[in-house]
Structure 1
Amino acid sequence: MTQQQRPVYAVIGSGYMGGGIAQSLALSGADVRIADVDLDVATANRERLIAEAAQFAADGLFPADAADTVAQRLTAATIEDAVAGADFIEEAVPEKIEIKHATLRRICDAAAPDAIIGSNTSTILIGRLAEAVTNPERFLGVHFSNPAPFIPGVELIPHSSTAEATIAAAEKIVAATGKETARVKDATGFVLNRLQYALFHEATQLVEEGVATAEDIDTIVRTTFGFRLPFFGPFAIADMAGLDVYSFCYASLQTEFPERFATPKVLDDLVSAGKLGTKTGAGFLDVPADRTPELVAYRNKAYVAMKKLIDELGPAPIHPGTDPHPDND
């Protein structure tokens, strides 16, 4: 693909998140312009992103030629020059609505009227941000996760006026980076942070109640139900466990926490209808019962492979003196 044929993207906000997004877009085959509060900041961040790409390549995390690719495809510019003629523009400035509104207005003043504009906001309603966007049908949330080059999931959040063609185009752009998208309605916290903070809130409750230490809770999460999460979401896990089992567990939790663990209506409805998950062939995901042996075989293989990978990597260097490879001394 020649330079003239490559799509042109812009990332406004070239810090840790925006820079990682820019790297991902550049490695996907696009020419990417980055901008920040001024050209000097964007230029310095461009050099940092090239150096990072070289280190990531040396660590086997990026392709061997990643630094050259990023250097060739990534340019620093002012906001106006970055967005002029760009096909897709990703806003990744600080999480303050007044900063995002001001930035989106500058983008709209200089960008093509049909350029797709995404915001990397993790908490602000897309509909509120759209107030600063001309032709808001071309605007949506495109929420990457930290660290952007390595986390494979991206939330796409349309607001009430986002065009279907805009969502489809954003899906294609993100797919080219090798990431996977999920469409999410414009609701406070979206999905990622609603779930992430629900877990964190309950974890802090356990610490405050003296049930377990922070260290032991982290151990339980990453070695039990968290161990499943790279392969299965909460509904697939519930279907495999049995929705009747979940219903019984809710009843047990309610003996101490009747409001905090009230049984969800959707779970009650499924159990009442005899839809208990994979063992009945119907549940949240309606996996046919005859596929259960295949699913169990995949599950077991996945968990063994994950354990081998964790053993190979060694423990995370969180605590002082941790040696991820004690046998290599």
Structure 2
Amino acid sequence: MASTFFRRIAKATPVSFAGEPRSTFGAIAAVTGGISYLYYYNSPNLAHLEEVKVEGSPKVALNPDKWIEFKLQDTARVSHNTHLFRFSFDPAAKLGLDIASCIITRAPIGQDAEGKTKYVVRPYTPISDPDSKGYFDLLIKVYPEGKMSQHFATLKSGDVVEVKGPIEKLRYSPNMKKHIGMIAGGTGITPMLQVIEAILKNTDDNTQVSLLYANVSPDDILLKQKLDFLAASHPNLKIFYTVDNPSKNWKGGSGYISKDMVVKGLPGPSDDTLILVCGPPGMMKHISGDKAKDRSQGELTGLLKEAGYTEEMVYKF
């Protein structure tokens, strides 16, 4: 059972979890947009943290070639269908996550005809600072038919989850572009936050960031307090919210992200501009087109193409 303090932290994110130094959160954890369920059979490549120590190198918890068990420390409810999960490991080690990358999780879903264990596998993006030692945090939306998210919802303190990674998505480097625009839908905010936090905590990074964030309702905006705090304290971050079902006192945008929102809210097409996109399949099709079947970037379509951006100016998570 999460403590009262832990529950409070889940709602007011500029502060940290109980027992940790005060710090802002990293990126929100979420399913990387558009990746289907993958099923893996029982693998001998399961290790514990102490098996992946490298002599002379900083100790890291992740291993890209082996499944590592991480123990659940605590949980908290963030919204009506979203939960925060903290996993612990050797306090002397770092997770070993790069910007921008995700981890892969797996959970058993039964056995095949030969009695071998089958797994459902899903990627998630930790919200905690990559430099944090001894723990990482995942923010996960629980879907009624979501095999992995339903598994997470049943976890209790002390249970373990198998993790592999990191899996690099976009290789970010400071000042790689003058202006980065972002379009996120729902839990697609997570890789955006990972990049945003990397930019804002680096005083030598002068990148300007503009975010368009779409959700069903104001109550579905994950970690809005966190986002507002970052925007209020960093002049190089601008955020515009839009929702399908606005409340009576809602002061943001209404409806799907439109071409007008893109033109007014994002940097214009330029060699010094990069637009990042992540969200559910329907939104991806509307904004940029989805990735190709082989998970490469695929053809650029949708609003971004109409607005004059090229494939070199857009990255789909």
Q: TM-score interval w.r.t. the shorter chain?
A: under 0.3
Between Structure 1 and Structure 2, the one with more strand by share is: 2
Between Structure 1 and Structure 2, the one with more helix by share is: 1
Question: Normalising to structure 2: TM-score of the pair?
Answer: 0.27
Question: Normalising to structure 1: TM-score of the pair?
Answer: 0.26
User: Which structure would you say has the larger RCO, counting Cα contacts within 8 Å and 6 or more residues apart?
Assistant: 2
Structure number with greater Rg is: 1
